[in-house]
Amino acid sequence: MGQITLRVNGAARSLDVDSRMSLLDLLRERLGLTGSKKGCDHGQCGACTVLIDGRRANSCLALAVAQDGADITTVEGLARDGTLHPLQAAFIERDAFQCGYCTPGQLCSAAGMLTEHGPSAVTEDLTQDPELTPEEIRERMSGNLCRCGAYVSIVAAVADVPR
Residues 6+ apart with CB under 8 A from 6: 12, 13, 67, 68, 69, 70, 71, 72
CATH of the domain at 16: 3.10.20.30
Count Cβ atoms within 10 A of the Cβ of residue 122 and give its class: 0-12 exposed, 13-18 middle, 19 or more buried: middle
Tell me how far apart the alpha carbons of residues 100 and 30 are, in angstroms, rounded to a whole number: 23
Q: What mean pLDDT is predicted for residues 39-53?
A: 97
- Which pLDDT tens digit goes with each residue over 59-112? 999 999 999 999 999 999 999 999 999 999 999 999 999 999 999 999 999 999
Residues 99 and 60 in one domain: no
11 plus 58 within the same structural domain: yes
Percent of the chain with pLDDT over 70: 100
Q: Which range marks the domain in which residue 123 is found?
A: 86-160
- Give pLDDT tens digits for 100-157: 999 999 999 999 999 999 999 999 999 988 999 999 999 999 999 999 999 999 999 9
- Separation CA 130–CA 71 (nearest Å): 28
Q: What is the pLDDT of residue 1?
A: 81
Mean pLDDT of the region 23-50: 97
Residue 54's pLDDT is what?
97
Domain count, the chain: 2
Point out the domain boundary residue: 53, 77, 101: 77
Give the CATH number, domain containing residue 93: 1.10.150.120
Asked if 27 and 65 sit in the same domain, the reply is yes
> In this predicted structure, what is the pLDDT of residue 71?
98
Q: What pLDDT score was predicted for residue 2? A: 87
Q: CA distances (Å), 41 to each of 6, 58, 82, in order?
A: 22, 9, 31
Domain boundary among 23, 51, 77: 77
pLDDT value at position 115? 95
- Using the 3D structure, point to which of 58, 77, 96 is the last residue of a domain: 77
| Whether residue 100 is found in the same domain as residue 72 | no
Instruction: Report the SS3 class of residue 85.
Output: coil
Are 97 and 155 members of one domain? yes
The SS3 of residue 6 is strand
